[in-house]
Structure 1
């Protein structure tokens, strides 16, 4: 099972790392088939707080049929996150994953491009909930039924409302890719409580 981890400019490093670590532990320590492929608009993505990250693929190289899931960490507007997260190439990629009922897992404002793509219209989701709920209001403008809960799953799409939820989103993705029992084995091994 292959997960495409999309890194827009200004991506939050904590939010991207959980996907790498949880799926990496599953693959390395348990032999699960949980490969992660990083992707961006350029071979080097500059994350929030100016940490450069070299990615495996650029967006133009991606064939959706090669992947089982799409993971979308959030990022900071001040570091240019929405410039790439809202790019039509990326929105089209999100639509392609959803049209094939592939898993889409987002953390925090990673839900906003999912909403902007149109795939969450009349569906339940959440996003960043603090600072007067401005991001949840923004998500609502895309026709989304916003639920103010830490993690919301609507069929194939996982959304969450802040960085604190990041590990749980990665574990939910692992569960959807494998099974609850396999996810729980990794979760306990990583020191998290069930």
Structure 2
């Protein structure tokens, strides 16, 4: 029996997501038994970024205006430079993310995606990693940045780059299996 059978996970992304940072968690979480929806701002498809050019399109399962954090057990935020930068100026996306945090649900953020958590003030006092170019942003937001492949802190799972996706997905599955997390003050 899959490890997280019956659990629901949202992957929030828009154009410019790092290709592997959406596709690998999508595949691994489904293999672990989760029902996973790609959620975006608009219906249709979103196009990824792969290395130095546009990647493959991925179908959008649900639009942001048709979902709420109550529909899911966990949230995955792929990185890439473009994707989180576009999402962090969208109030609806920020409200969606904040709802997961408020409800003590698991949030996974890869590479540049912690920019979204910086925007929401979620990182203060939390152990976290990210792509090295946003380290200063994370630290300035009060995060305790670590140069580690994956860092977990009370249901918050962060990964520094796409090369760490197997470890990231493993920790994400573990956190989802555990369920809601108490978020003691940092």
Q: Give the TM-score normalised by the residue count of structure 2.
A: 0.83
Instruction: Write out aligned runs for 1:45-194 (5 A).
Output: 45-48=46-49, 49-77=54-82, 81-129=84-132, 134-178=133-177
Aligned residue-pair number: 167
CA contact (8 A) 2:87 2:94 kept: no
Q: Give the TM-score normalised by the residue count of structure 1.
A: 0.80
Q: Secondary structure at the match of 1:114?
A: helix
Name which one, 1 or 2, has greater alpha-carbon Rg. 1
Unaligned runs of 5+ in 2: 1-6, 179-186
Relative to 1, partners in 2 of residues 1:174 and 1:168: Cα closer, same or farther, differing over 3 Å? same
Q: CA RMSD in A?
A: 1.6
What is the aligned counterpart of 1:20 among 8, 15, 26? Answer: 26
Unaligned runs of 5+ in 1: 28-33, 180-194
Tell me how far apart the structure 1 counterparts of residues 144 and 10 of structure 2 sit (CA, whole Å). 26
Higher fraction of helix: 1
Tell me how far apart the structure 1 counterparts of residues 145 and 139 of structure 2 sit (CA, whole Å). 6
Higher fraction of strand: 2
